[in-house]
Chain A
């Protein structure tokens, strides 16, 4: 048992963090996407998109755990959510793709030529994939998705849709006939949440991930996305902790640094404790997801819900401790607050994921009890 990252994993995370800091627009006060493409290209040049591609497909063959700290850096640096969704799609192709899908997709995924947005949420629907309305019927996809981060800049959409009464994942080109993408006006325009309407879009049989034989890809998507998003949000939380501590050391009132006052110091300490607890929860989810363990679903939901809660609290505390400055546009703390909120609501809000943790724990306890009875 070892709960630490190795030198390569840490160094990779630091490199991604440093690289993103070369693109100040990502975290600047104005909600701009003007450096998104440059940042994407730099990440691609670094090789980020080839990391999860298997070696036999000319990738680096790393696991989710290897990139956990890089994902955290993507969160802290407010990289476009398209980066994360493309990594999630790559991992899904690795796990479920047919040979033909792997041959077709891994090349352009690895080089960063292919940007993939994930279309999950629907208006009037919750997170349960079984209840979504988008459906493929007679080989054609119809329905409307909302809050699809980066769909307007994506080449491909990975769409959760019902097919033959089963939740499936379909790859759809954003330029395909019948696809309409509209950027929504939302709290964080830099995340580029889009409404995507599908009007009888033709879905070839080979567009269904893994051939559409089971709902395993959709369940994996949910856990993968929850895990990766926990990394993004805890990255934001830690950035807020660092920024706030730095401010508390330098900002003076009553002739002293405000960090010397216990009312401030103690709140910083509480943030530090939560960031540590969130990281432990998130990293454990990364490991369980990488190993495809029996605890994958429970740990993924735990991490998604808890890290979102922690990021929200950290953003709130950061603004409060920065005082009037925290509420100014130019301090740019609002960028993290906005992004944290967008990430919190994606792929299931904390309430849904906490309920899922409970359901998984109850199921686990029942299975345990059965195993004990069988043994006896």
Chain B
């Protein structure tokens, strides 16, 4: 065990730190923030993705030949620390970078890697995930969207739901049924679909936060070239499990932890400055205790992810332990977001529209948004089944 870094790793850190200081707008995180309006915010994030790419700071641990910099997992961890330190904006292309990219790296053909990976890294192409359907949520293997082979094409018909960022996406990877007669896990394939294809339509869904990050996506006789099949026909379930291991894995957790740490730091600052009786809110020992516990949990997210990195570095495979990471961060973040509202009291309830809003109403918005954490990427109930059965060996 050693948390010291090599001179090369320290140099990597200082390079990134310097680059971030130059790249972020002056006063970032203090007087300058993301746009409030939803679409403007996402486009801001897309532009940030592109800026990161221009500096060579996306897909950093992908191989150099596909546009990455071949960074180690340790450098990946340093990257997350520095992004948190700089309070850097979030990414829009997280599905491309965290899910589509690694899946294509694992299972894609050489042609697919060359075609797709560089444009994910550059964020010229944003990705969406076509897994869930109205009748295939937790029971994901029940997907019914059909893909029928006609010559050198698949013809896709069906509907996906909860497709985040579909409205900004050029591509979507989807689980489609290619053999309706096979047992449900055995008749699924993994297909890459151009969102600009004729027959693709999307309808935004309104979330409890009032935002419309996710959508319904409809496929009506959509033609997909056969070369966009990833892996073998009817082997999509196995590939999807790898995608999910990344979606729930340590890289994803580290990237999210950046946001949660930023929110918690902001909460600590606000509670330390907001007047209460003769002092400030965080003079209250109960508030100090709550904040202390939140600090511990948000730090533990990072530590749990780093433990996982070390297991990979020691040769272990990615597997069901990703469910531990996802279950942990999602609930810990929810607790922190809820605690923020409790600690700030009535002023914490004010939204961004109100002139008296605290931190532009961000705590209330985060509280609402946090309700999705324990549902997407596999609900907590599914993660608990996986942990119980596959890690602890409890019977089905």
Q: Does B183 contact A (CB under 8 A)?
A: no
Cβ A4 vs Cβ B314 within 8 A: yes
Given contacts A249-B394, A269-B388, contact A280 B304 (CB under 8 A): yes
> Which B residues touch A305, using CB under 8 A?
292-293, 296
Nearest B residue to A3 by beta-carbon distance? Answer: B310
Bound form: Cα–Cα A80–B289 in Å: 30
Size class of the contact patch on chain A: 35 or more
Bound form: Cα–Cα A276–B265 in Å: 24
Cβ B295 vs Cβ A259 within 8 A: no
- Residues of B330-349 whose CB lies within 8 A of A: none
Given contacts A268-B394, A269-B392, A305-B296, contact A3 B288 (CB under 8 A): no
How would residues 5 to 44 of chain A score, 1 for a CB under 8 Å from any chain B CB and 0 otherwise?
A: 1100100000000000000000000000000000000000
Q: Which of A1, A262, A276, A355 contacts B292 (CB 8 A)?
A: A355
- Residues of B70-85 whose CB lies within 8 A of A: 74, 77
Q: Does B9 contact A (CB under 8 A)?
A: yes
Secondary structure at the A interface, as helix, strand, loop or mixed, is helix
Nearest B residue to A5 by beta-carbon distance? Answer: B1
Size class of the contact patch on chain B: 35 or more
**Taking the nearest CB of chain B, how far is it from the CB of A64, in angstroms?**
10
Bound form: Cα–Cα A245–B394 in Å: 7
Given contacts A265-B384, A302-B296, A361-B295, contact A1 B394 (CB under 8 A): no
Q: Does B385 contact A (CB under 8 A)?
A: yes
Q: Does A336 contact B (CB under 8 A)?
A: no
Q: Which of B5, B291, B309, B384 contacts A270 (CB 8 A)?
A: B384
Bound form: Cα–Cα A9–B2 in Å: 13
Q: Which of A264, A284, A354 contacts B303 (CB 8 A)?
A: A284
> Which A residues touch B288, using CB under 8 A?
354-355, 358-359
Given contacts A305-B292, A365-B268, contact A1 B392 (CB under 8 A): no
Cβ A306 vs Cβ B296 within 8 A: yes
Cβ A353 vs Cβ B306 within 8 A: no
Q: Does A287 contact B (CB under 8 A)?
A: yes
- Residues of A240-271 whose CB lies within 8 A of B: 245, 248-249, 256-257, 259-260, 262, 264-266, 268-270
- Can you sample 6 A-B contacts with CB below 8 Å? A2-B1, A259-B388, A259-B392, A269-B392, A276-B328, A365-B269
- 10 A-B pairs closest in CB distance: A354-B292, A280-B303, A265-B388, A259-B394, A269-B387, A357-B292, A269-B384, A358-B292, A266-B384, A3-B310
Contacts A4-B307, A268-B388 known; 4 new A-B pairs at CB < 8 A = A260-B396, A262-B385, A351-B285, A356-B292
